[in-house]
Structure 1
Amino acid sequence: MSFVQKTGLSLAIATATAVLLSGCATTGPSETLLSSGLTAVSSPQSATQWYQLGASEADQRQQQTATTGKAKNVILVIGDGMGITSLTSGRIFSGQQLGLKGEEFHLSFESLPYSALVKTYNTDQQTPDSAGTMSAIMTGTKTRAGVIAVSPQAERANCGSSKGTELTSLIEFAHQQGKATGVVTTTRITHATPAATYAHGPERNWEADSQLPEEAKANGCTDIASQLVTSDLDVAFGGGLKAFTPAATGGYRADDQDLTANWLARPGHHFVSDAQQLQQANMKNGQWLGLFSGSHLPYVDERDDKIPGLLTMTQAAVERLSQDSDGYALVIEAGRIDHAHHAGNGYRALKETEELHQTLDWLINQVDLSNTLLLVTADHSHTLTLAGYPTRGNPINGVVKGNDDRGLPKTTPELLEDGQSYTSMNYRNGPGAVSMPRPGVDEATALQPDYQQQALIPLESETHGGEDVAIYGAGPYAHLLGGTMEQHWIYHLMRYAITGKQEI
């Protein structure tokens, strides 16, 4: 059995396991259709069942074999802000959307065979920002918070200090090796994380020329949008149209240029601006820029049919990049997980995580993992917590209902010493902060899409967390993942997979 077949089988078994371990929601058996086409029948829990499933997992893992051939393709997937608690909560949420209890569910990428923990600090910050972390992943060099693919010798927002410190990104290296390259994001394409794949500069906020200070202009720095349209990217899909269009037409540019026209003026370059244009595009060749919103793409539950989702953009990108006989390098970002967390909005963070899970479910079954290195990680975490002893299967974003003295689920919410109910998902800081006496929350309120989980410290925007994040992988040299890694080492793994040799 090939590695690809084993991986697909593992995913199917993992999903079947989730169904089996959920137990019956009703008195009779129920059937759930798996994405693999298999049908699993749920059954009551038993000690024997848990034991057998554990033995089966051990057997599967001992059959894993490392893949050591060169990687034709490299795909890096970033769940922006998707820390460990986001993974746990997202896993439960996605399972519960399928009618399962949730805890036993696996997100699609959690079944990839290799994993590790990743340290996320910047050279100047204990708790990092996305610009510094993504620059480390893309360039193999840790650097400062707020800078885009320049060395730590550059001072933030100081153009002169950054000259000569530009670092070659993995995407740029892949292009040098003759591979097609692309980036897909649900944020502005000029936002910090996607920008680190193709741009260089000492300030992440210089997305349009109107945001450049006089010092930057005098010392020859250019805005991120301008750098994209002169880049060698074959695919760039996301939001952020306003950074490319003049102020006279509602954009942010002070130079009166329409950079989408500049992109189209290059031979073989194409531009699309809505889902229908993307679906009708002939993705067999050419270079493609797709900007589907003025700023970030709307959250999953707020999009209309004019806005393509992460899966649709990923499918189009893979179709185009796969035409290159030398292979490709692709970066995919589920960027709005991060934004929902900053807003203290757990529901939308979980919905964005679910979209990433669904996108990777397609991607894992689409690509050939014998010659494609697939890595899934986060750039940093958030302050989301999950606690309170809720009974198994309790709605992940609902109020906590515990178990009685016999271990049986209660039907009424748990109350704290202040006499109020509470949710199991909360934030350490952010806009949901409460003061004493603490208000309670009922189930109907907690389950609303706009509900902001309660927080301890009042801040306009919830902050990142500083703990490690997870990385999952499959394909050539993914077996080198293990233990606790420095974040910049991810670049060196990807480069090693492309070249098949260590380079200093």
Structure 2
Amino acid sequence: MLPLRLVTTVLFLVIGYSGATIYPRPSERDNDSDYWLKLGREEIEEALQRPKLTNVAKNVILFLGDGMGITVNTAGRIYKGQKQGQSGEEGYLVWDRFPNLGLLKTYNLDKQVSDSGATATAFLTGVKANYYTIGVNGHVKYEDCAASLKEENRVESIIEWAQEAEKDTGFVTTTKVTHATPAGSYAKTASRKWECDRKMVKYGPDAMKCKDIARQLVEDEPGKNIKVIMGGGRQEMGAPKRDNGDPSCRRIDGMNLVKDWIDHKTENDESYAYVTNTQELLAIDTSDTEYILGLFDDTHMPYETDRDTSSEGCPHIKEMVEVAIKRLSNSENGFFLLVEGGKIDKGLHLNSPKRAVEELVAFEEAVQQALKMVNMEETLVIVTADHSHVMSMNGYPPRGNDILGIVTESDDISDGLPYTTLTFANGHGFNYSWNGIEVVRPNLTGVDTTHKDYVSLAGMPTYYDSETHGGEDVAAFAIGPMAHLFHRVHEQSYVAHVMAYASCIGPYKDCPRQIENRPSAVYEIVKNQNKKHSKMGSSSSPAVWPSSIIVLLLTILSLRRARA
């Protein structure tokens, strides 16, 4: 008689695995030693050509994948390949092929695990800060308005340094334009929550002596001088379009900061465009428009899985980046651009891997678009993250197993139930119970774990949408002038110093280097890497292995093991 656990496994394979997908390897040649030896030689050749450009960077683009830790990067890489019908592990994200990288320590001054406000302060100003503060040094504690108003506690950002050097500046985000990462480029505040005045009232009259983040963007330097501003956040700016949206940060002072922004540009005879959808964005004449304000949602922009892709909907992050670079490239002195893929983080907080990796793939499309539009001999491009998350990639799934799917067999899993490759250490996906004998988790048989609304299992409960950040190091990938300065484990604040030194601005404005064009084959390798690596040895599109065959093979294997 077969053991109960084996019977359960066989029933699961026959009933629950009928919709399973195993993505094939692009080529079976990786079974051969010659393949790996050849691949190794190619990478050695690339490494020997690794550029060490000492040019002055005319332009700097910082791509910030919010929450895009190493695990998320790996999962996104595999997901991208599987969307192309391949197993995914063998592929690359475009920044994986950058010639230089380092690791960044993400802790805050007062926290082992960071938030996005203090991390933004670090990588945009070169100074580490306390949890939930923005644009101020360690003498300012969370919610200490008085300390944040002291000039000696306020720090300058890369956007301020760039503007002082008469460069044009801009930022693009899929979150609100007042959210932590973009705010780090222009705001000084004791609380990243103070995006509008409503968020400050409950802290009393002392807090109201400070200015909310939205007002700082429109009224103060450097915010009011930023040439390109794109993201969500009409509510914080006092110009919401919907009455049924989240009212958490509706202004109570009656200010319409969008109108104030427009009035200021009009009074100074400056050309501008205020846009709220894709059609309006793409219609901008970037050669004849000095300032662009794009607010595409009342709060955060929608997930890529939910975005209205019509002309009346929200633009893709790639489209925002394309328009931003077209506009900023008009500057004779160059530009600084911050691009945040902010909804990667939001998807992870939801315990929703599908939403997160879809955001990462969209973010990569924006990076690819930028690389096509700039001269990389004079443009430093950095791709990094502010922090990680507590998502893990675990178990022993077979090669090509759907990265969002389930693992059906593992000798290490004591309850014999299937599990997802991607799980979380904490989150509202916590779902365990006690049956009087043992702790029981959900049986994923028949559950579509690849759906955008699937909530992954978590090891520790949190409130809804409150999965936490992770505290491990994140990677910084770099290409362009002075990219070789990323070479080991660095403090996160080092990023701002590299950007300033590379472009000879801010604390490094007395810079002796000159612009020199020294082309390198590595740059073309990076630009063309998708062509090279998306077809790993096969000219035809591989077919997905039928799930019925997988069921049959695994069932036979299980029966043989039982008889043995």
* TM-score normalised by structure 2 residue count: 0.78
Residue 50 of structure 2 aligns to a residue whose secondary structure is coil
**1:493 corresponds to 2:498:** yes
- The two structures, once aligned, show a CA RMSD in angstroms of 2.0
Amino acid at match of 1:438: R
Q: Distance in 2 between matches of 1:249 and 1:502?
A: 46
Aligned to 1:175: 163
Identify the range of structure 1 (433-442 vs 228-237) with the bigger mean alpha-carbon deviation: 433-442
Deviation digits for residues 69-108 of structure 1 (CA, Å, limit 9, x no counterpart): 1110010010000001001101000111011110011011
1:49 maps to: 35
Separation in structure 2 between the aligned mates of residue 96 and residue 248 of structure 1, nearest angstrom:
38
In the alignment, structure 1 segments of 5+ residues that lack a partner are 1-20, 25-41, 403-412
Question: What residue identity is the alignment partner of 1:101?
Answer: S
- Confirm whether residue 207 of structure 1 aligns to residue 214 of structure 2: no
1:257 aligns with 2:255: yes
Match of 2:99 in 1: 113
2:363 is the counterpart of 1:360: no
Aligned to 1:483: 488
CA shift digits 1:50-74 (9 cap, x unpaired):
2101111111110122110111001
Q: Report the Cα distance in structure 1 between the residues aligned to 2:363 and 2:207, rounded to whole angstroms.
A: 41
2:227 is the alignment partner of 1:222: no
Q: For 1:415-455, what per-residue CA distance to the aligned partner results, in whole angstroms no more than 9, with x for missing partners?
A: 93213111110000001112131112136521111111111
**Counterpart in the other structure of 2:236:** 243
1:157 paired residue number: 143
CA gap of 1:246–1:109, structure 2 versus 1, over 3 A, is closer
Identify the residue that residue 338 of structure 2 maps to in structure 1.
331
Distance 1:468 1:82 in 2: 11
Tell me how far 1:369 sits from its aligned partner.
Answer: 1.0
CA 1:223–1:421 in structure 2 vs 1: closer, same or farther (change >3 Å)?
A: same
Count of residues in Structure 1 that have an aligned counterpart in Structure 2: 457
Secondary structure of the residue aligned to 1:302 is coil
Shift of 1:44: 6.3
**Would the aligned equivalents of 1:391 and 1:401 in 2 still touch at CA under 8 Å?**
no
What is the CA distance between 1:491 and its match in structure 2?
0.5
**Of the candidates 62, 74, 79, which is equivalent to residue 65 of structure 2?**
79
Q: 1:463 aligns with which of 454, 468, 471?
A: 468
Q: CA deviation at 1:200?
A: 1.1
Rounded to whole Å, the distance in 2 between the matches of 1:100 and 1:236 is 37
Tell me the percent identity.
Answer: 37
- Is 1:124 the counterpart of 2:110? The answer is yes
**In structure 1, distance between residues paired with 2:445 and 2:316:** 32
Contact 1:248 1:256 in 2 (8 A): no
Q: Which residue of 2 aligns with 1:13?
A: none
The one of 463, 469, 477 aligned to 1:472? 477
- Which amino acid in structure 1 is aligned with residue 494 of structure 2? W
Bigger CA drift: 203-212 or 219-228?
219-228
Distance in 1 separating the partners of 2:111 and 2:356: 24
**How far apart, in 2, do the equivalents of 1:392 and 1:94 lie?**
15
Q: In the alignment, does 2:265 pair up with 1:276?
A: no
Counterpart among 296, 300, 309 of residue 300 in structure 2: 296
**AA of the residue aligned to 1:377:** T
Answer yes or no: is 1:94 the counterpart of 2:80: yes
**1:363-442 correspondence runs (5 A):** 363-401=370-408, 416-435=413-432, 436-442=439-445
Equivalent residue number for residue 456 of structure 2: 453
Deviation at 1:249, TM superposition (A): 7.7
- After TM superposition, the score normalised by the length of structure 1 is 0.87
- CA offsets 1:210-263 (integer angstroms, 9 cap, x no match): 222364666631111111112210000000100111689847111112111111
Alignment check: 8 A CA contact 2:228 2:293 kept:
yes
Sort the Cα spacing of 1:113 and 1:44 in 2 relative to 1 into closer, same or farther, 3 A.
closer
Q: Secondary structure at the match of 1:64?
A: coil
1:362 positional shift: 1.7
Larger RCO: 1 or 2 (CA < 8 Å, sep 6+): 2
1:190 aligns with 2:175: no
Q: CA 1:104/1:467 → structure 2, altered by over 3 Å: closer, same or farther?
A: same
**SS of 1:458 mapped into structure 2:** coil
**How far apart are the structure 2 equivalents of 1:45 and 1:300?**
37
CA shift, 1:296, in A, is 0.5
| 2:146 and 2:206 in contact (8 A); partners too | no
1:480, 1:346 → 2: CA distance? 33
Structure 2 gaps, min length 5: 1-23, 433-438, 511-564
Question: Once the 2 structures are TM-superposed, how far is the Cα of residue 503 of structure 1 from its aligned partner?
Answer: 6.8
